[in-house]
Structures are given as C-alpha cells and as structure tokens.
Amino acid sequence: MAGKKTKLRKVVVIGTGFVGTSYAYALLNQGVVNELVLIDLDKEKAEGEARDLNHGMAFGNPMRIKAGDYEECHNADLVVITAGANQRPGETRLDLVSKNAKIFKGIINKVMDVDFQGIFLVATNPVDILTQLTREISGLPEERVIGSGTILDTARFRYLLGEHFEVDPRNVHAYIMGEHGDSELPVWSHVQIGGVPISKYAGITDFDQNEEMKAIFENVRDAAYHIIKRKGATYYGIGLGLVRLTRAILNNENAIVTVSAYLDGQYGLDDIYIGVPAILNENGVREIIELNLNDLEKDQLRNSADLLKEMVDVGRKAIQ
C-alpha cells in the first residue's frame, strides 16, 4: 500500500558506560527512535551492550540497535555524548574539565569529519563547559548544540517539592538554573503548584531563610554527591532526562525544558552555555525563556556564569 513515508529517526550515542546504556535502555522502553548506534572507545563493550539491548526487543519497542563507528554520525539526527570520566567520591564536576575536554576534542572532530548535520546533545560533565567546547570545536550553529544542563536538577527539585507538599511532581512547576553543579540556583520566585505560586500555596515568603526549603534545595544541589558516595555513579535519572530531551527534539515538541543553552544577551549574559528554560524542537533550541528573576536570583545566576566562564578558559587551554 502506498503511504506517507515516515521519517527515520537515528540517534548515535557516544559512550556506553552507565549513563549511555541507561539512556539506551530507556529509549528501548519508550520507543522514540528507529535506529540507535552505540559507539565507545571500548568496542567490545559497545558490541556487548547492543546485543544485550537487542535481546529485550521482544518486550520493548521495535527499533534497530547496533554497535558502530563514527561514519554512522553522517546521517544521524542526534548525537548524544556521554563519553568520558565521571566523578569519584569527593570530586566536583569541574574537576573533570581538562580530562574530558581532551576526550571531547577527539570525539567532536571525528563526528564532524563525516559531515554531521544534526544536533549534538551533551551529558558528560562538566556539561555546560563541554557543551560550549562542542560548539566551538564543531562550528555548528549554537541552537544545534545543547547540553543536558539542569534538566536532572530540575527533575530532582520537582520530585522533592512534590514529596514535601504531597503533590504529583508533574504538577509542580519549578526550575533549577545556572551551572549543572555546585553554583546552581533554585528559582523560588517562579515555583508554582498546580498554577498557584508556592508562596501562596505554602504560606512562605523568604525561601532562602526557611530551613525546610533550604534543605530541599541543598538535597538537589548535593544529590550527585549523596548518590556517588553510596553507589559510585548516577545514571537512571539522567538516562530518562536524555530521553525527554530526545523526544522534545525528534518529535518537534516545542517543549520547555531546562537545558544548557547558548546565551547571547539573554539574562544580561553573553557567549556562555548555562542552564536556562528553553523551547526545544527539531531545530534544537528555538528560544530561551527569560524569566523575571528577583535580585538575589540574578546575582546567583551571574556568579554561576562567572565561574563557568573561568572554567571554559581552563577547558580551552587543555585542548589548545
């Protein structure tokens, strides 16, 4: 029967460690793509992961999964990068910058060598800095280079607020902005529960002084440390977050999500990738949502951006 040809949706994931394979597993369960190619420095690992995932196909969603090489990026819609070192207990994300910047230089050059025309989605830490370096190395337009940014932190914030107020986290609207890391900020001025501002819902006005609210934010900010101390790495949350972003992009959803996106004057910041709410669609970042932040939030965002700018320079020097 002649019919409308459906567009193939091909994703390549580079790095098949904890994060890359959690993403692949979540993709298989949610049926977002037609083809998934796994690339890793350790080719045997990528091959083993592809076989294992394929053996779940009868219970998941039909798609092609295989291990491959960089030429697969030529016609990919999306290249997701999860390759590189992760934090050891006590290490910050920023401690990884030089090591992972060098790994990224090699990876991005190999992807661009095969004339990649799609969108990069970066998860490797420090994610804001590696996203900026990905853009600089690849030369792609900024809207087509995206970092997972604070998508996970925002999900953690919504989850903890939902637990505290006994409301489904899907009905909690809240953002974490800034660095995906220790300098991030909770945007208390825009938290809403079912459309009701949190100050009205909870009867609290000074969130930064309230012990319970402070503890919620600290648990968000320090979540990775708490998990890494207990199990060595975090991966399920970000795996699902990356699928959320994949859907927003490949389904042309125009979804508002917090990602690391390029600022060119928004929030008074220039030439920086940082976590902000943005509208994502098949072209990448369509638009940055500019919230009316209060003075404290503006200061916190600027401090976070200043720190990231310094670390971008460290990353640039490492790959000169």
Ligand X SMILES: NC(=O)C1=CN([C@@H]2O[C@H](COP(=O)(O)OP(=O)(O)OC[C@H]3O[C@@H](n4cnc5c(N)ncnc54)[C@H](O)[C@@H]3O)[C@@H](O)[C@H]2O)C=CC1
Binding residues for substrate: 87, 93, 125-128, 153-156, 234
Distance from the first to the final alpha carbon of the chain: 56
- Is 198 or 240 the residue whose CB approaches ligand X more closely? 240
CA atoms of 70 and 92, how far apart (whole Å): 30
151 binds ligand CC(=O)C(=O)O (CB under 6 A): no
Q: Distance from CA of residue 90 to its chain's centroid?
A: 22
Total of residues contacting ligand CC(=O)C(=O)O (CB under 6 A): 6
Q: Please give the residues from 254 up to 313 whose contact with ligand X meets the rule CB under 6 A.
A: none
Q: Mask: binding to ligand X, 111-140, rule CB under 6 A, as x and -?
A: ------------xxx-x-------------
**DSSP string covering 271-303, please?**
EEEEEEEEEEETTEEEEE------HHHHHHHHH
Q: How far apart are CA 242 and CA 248, in angstroms?
A: 10
65 φ, ψ (degrees, to nearest 5):
-130, 130
Decide the pairing of beta strands 10-14 and 255-264: unpaired
Site size toward ligand X (CB under 6 A) is 32
Q: Which does 137 bind (CB under 5 to 8 A by kind): ligand X, ligand CC(=O)C(=O)O, none?
A: none
- Whether 180 sits among the annotated catalytic residues: the reply is yes
- Tell me the residue number closest to ligand X, measured at CB: 17
State the Cα angle at 105 between 100 and 107, rounded to 5°: 90
> Residue 40 interacts with ligand X (CB under 6 A)?
yes
The residue among 200, 208, 138, 150 whose CA lies nearest residue 178 is 150
| Closest approach of ligand CC(=O)C(=O)O to the CB of residue 149, in Å | 11
Considering the rule CB under 6 A, would residue 125 count as an interface residue with ligand CC(=O)C(=O)O? yes
Angstrom distance (rounded) from CA 96 to CA 105 = 14
By CB under 6 A, the residues from 199 to 258 that bind ligand CC(=O)C(=O)O are 224, 234
Closer by beta carbon to ligand X, 91 or else 287: 91
Known catalytic residues? Answer: 180
- Interacting residues toward ligand CC(=O)C(=O)O by CB under 6 A: 87, 93, 125, 152, 224, 234
